[in-house]
Amino acid sequence: MQKKINTSLFVLVSLFLTISCDSKVVYDEYKPLPNNWHKDSIATFNFKAPDTINNYNLYVNLRNNNDYAFSNLYLIVELNYPNGKIVKDTLEYKMAAPNGELLGSGFTDIKENKLWYRGYKSPFKFTEKGDYSINIQHAMRKNGEVNGVNNLEGITDIGFRVEQAQK
């Protein structure tokens, strides 16, 4: 009986610590991808601006496995404001070390990557109240080829995260 109580207490404390350590999170969502990520497939995330006063960090989150065959990743990320303004960026992220080992956290063949989108160079504020959306699409190409990779393998989930910045 005492062992059961100790185990239950340990689980509750662990859960509390996990939740409290992630208290900066305002929005965090993942979308699973099928066996591959088609070049025309766009992951869309809709969220409400938390406020127009505080600074925030925005991240693209990815989970990938050993089927990912590239050392980098090009993404087209589009931020849609409530008033209709659209900001579109082409971003490059390093995904593997020079020896080919995949970067990211995780102990299995699944690696999780938290990739900066906004807030890393200068503070990011939501300038408008209302509903925002983020569209994320891959823009990978093989060296020397004009056409993009039709079906990108190895990306299992794509996510988007908003955190309140440190004050």
Report the pLDDT value the prediction gives residue 5, as an integer from 0 to 100.
54
Over residues 147-152, mean pLDDT: 90
- The pLDDT, as a whole number, for residue 11 is 41
Q: Note the pTM of the prediction, 2 decimals.
A: 0.83
pLDDT band at 2 (very low <50, low <70, confident <90, very high): low
Interval 154-159 mean pLDDT? 96
Q: Please write the tens of the pLDDT for every residue from 29-78.
A: 999 998 899 999 999 999 999 999 999 999 999 999 999 999 999 999 99
pLDDT of residue 51: 96
Rounded to the nearest angstrom, the gap between the alpha carbon of residue 91 and the centroid of all alpha carbons in its chain is: 13
Model confidence pLDDT, tens digit, residues 92-141:
999 988 998 888 898 888 999 999 999 988 889 999 999 999 999 999 98
